[in-house]
Structure 1
Amino acid sequence: MTKLSVNINKIATLRNSRGGNRPDVVQVALDCERFGAQGITVHPRPDERHIRRSDVLALQKVVTTEFNIEGYPDQRYMDIIEQVRPAQATLVPDPPTAITSNAGWDTIKNKAFLQDILKTLKGWGVRTSIFVDPDEDMVEGAAQCGTDRIELYTEAYAVGYHKDRHEAVKPYTNAAYRAKALGLGINAGHDLDLDNLAFLKQAIPYMDEVSIGHALISDALYFGLENTIQMYLRQLEER
């Protein structure tokens, strides 16, 4: 079964735009779990423009599904992971000014750096995932770094889906097959939505997890949060 982890960054963005605590990030996370989500994802950026460190600490106390914390592994991020000890730490190569993740790691050039980070994270008992493009060399590099999983960066798939979905998914099936052969778990995320998710699941039926935020929260404006989560879960059902 491929798990659905809901990224709640956009909920925090909405709250921060007005101040106060509406919507309540912690309550939304609890509701996502109650509505069927099997994980909660956050990405606490240095400028705290959406998820704040205080949110992460509050969520740590209540999340009962898998808690996934994304981020660039600087000292601030590592301090958060050491304190919270989430189920999973997903490493992304984003610079502090990035609006959203827009590239995977070069796992070959950054091998020594990532190896050190992963060793520390595993010492804390945290499952690790490295954000990578659908490139078999980068997948192999990730395995050599010692990660538990990769997260396939799916923007290119989402962009190409409506033009030629079979061609768009091909690099992802190749990368996923290589990852599976190397013993890595496989996550995926970025621009996945109700249009393209089911086809990706069919192409890579052994995906462990998808992390979805922007599209899911946008859809919830029309369909309601509970119904939207159920709609996404149905896209992940075996066919």
Structure 2
Amino acid sequence: MTKLSVNVNKIATLRNARGGNVPNVLQVALDCEKFGAQGITVHPRPDERHIRYTDVIELKQHIKTEFNIEGNPDDRFIKIIEEVNPAQVTMVPDAPDALTSNAGWNVLKHFDHLKGLVDHFHNLGVRTSIFVGTDLDNITAAKETGTDRIELYTEPYAANYHNDKAKAVAPFVEAAQHAAKIGLDINAGHDLNLDNLAYFKQCLPKLDEVSIGHALIADALYLGLEETIKRYLLQLK
């Protein structure tokens, strides 16, 4: 079964809008685990507009499932990985002022930088994942960095799902098959939701993990968190 990692950034966004500690990011993460999520994801950004670096440290101390920290690996990000030692680090090439991640790495262009990071994180005992698109040569380059996994950037799939879902998923199927053939594990994330997730999973049977935040939290406003996680898990069976 593909694992569900819940990104709790949106909970932090809501908390920060009012100040104080409501909703409580740690409590929501613990409840996600209790309701069946197999992982928790956070994406700290330099301006701390949602997840704060103190949140990252607190979460590590209490969550029991897999902890995935994603983000642009600048100096501060690297230091928090060194301090927290999560199960997985996902390297994402977003600019400090990015609203959300909107592209994967050009691995060939940044090869030496990424390879150095992979080596460093492996020395800490942290599994690595590189956020990429579906270009096969780029995925091959990711493999050559020594990374354990790639995370496929799925916004193009989600954006075109209702126009022609078979056409929308085809590049991801090819990318996943290629990744599996050369020995990479496969994660995916961005704009996956209750509408398009089951088909994506059906077409990519070797999918190891999805990281979902915005859509899942939005669904929880109507369905409740427990029921929402239950429904996402059903899509991944």
Same fold (TM over 0.5): yes
Please state how far the C-alpha of 1:146 moved relative to its aligned partner.
1.0
Please state how far the C-alpha of 1:96 moved relative to its aligned partner.
0.3
Are 1:110 and 2:124 an aligned pair? no
Question: Which 4+ residue blocks in structure 1 deviate beyond 3 angstroms?
Answer: none
Residues 26-37 of structure 1 aligned to structure 2 (within 5 Å): 26-37=26-37
What letter corresponds to residue 62 of structure 1 in structure 2? H
Q: Match of 2:231, SS?
A: helix
Structure 1 segments unaligned to the other structure (5+ residues): none
Residues 122-141 of structure 1 aligned to structure 2 (within 5 Å): 122-141=122-141
TM-score by length of 2: 0.99
Are 1:210 and 2:210 an aligned pair? yes
Are 1:70 and 2:102 an aligned pair? no
Cα distance in structure 2, aligned partners of 1:218 and 1:138: 33
CA RMSD of aligned residues (A): 0.4
Are 1:51 and 2:58 an aligned pair? no
Structure 2 segments unaligned to the other structure (5+ residues): none
Q: Match of 1:96, SS?
A: coil
TM-score by length of 1: 0.99
Q: Match of 1:17, SS?
A: helix
Cα distance in structure 2, aligned partners of 1:138 and 1:197: 24
Query: Identity percentage over the alignment?
Result: 64
Please state how far the C-alpha of 1:138 moved relative to its aligned partner.
1.3
Residues 1-12 of structure 1 aligned to structure 2 (within 5 Å): 1-12=1-12
Q: Match of 1:169, SS?
A: helix
Please state how far the C-alpha of 1:135 moved relative to its aligned partner.
1.2
Please state how far the C-alpha of 1:145 moved relative to its aligned partner.
1.1
Are 1:19 and 2:19 an aligned pair? yes
Please state how far the C-alpha of 1:134 moved relative to its aligned partner.
1.2
Cα distance in structure 1, aligned partners of 2:105 and 2:210: 18
Aligned length: 237
Cα distance in structure 2, aligned partners of 1:126 and 1:178: 24
Cα distance in structure 2, aligned partners of 1:101 and 1:116: 22
The corresponding residue for 2:188 is 188
Cα distance in structure 1, aligned partners of 2:61 and 2:55: 10
Q: Match of 2:164, SS?
A: helix
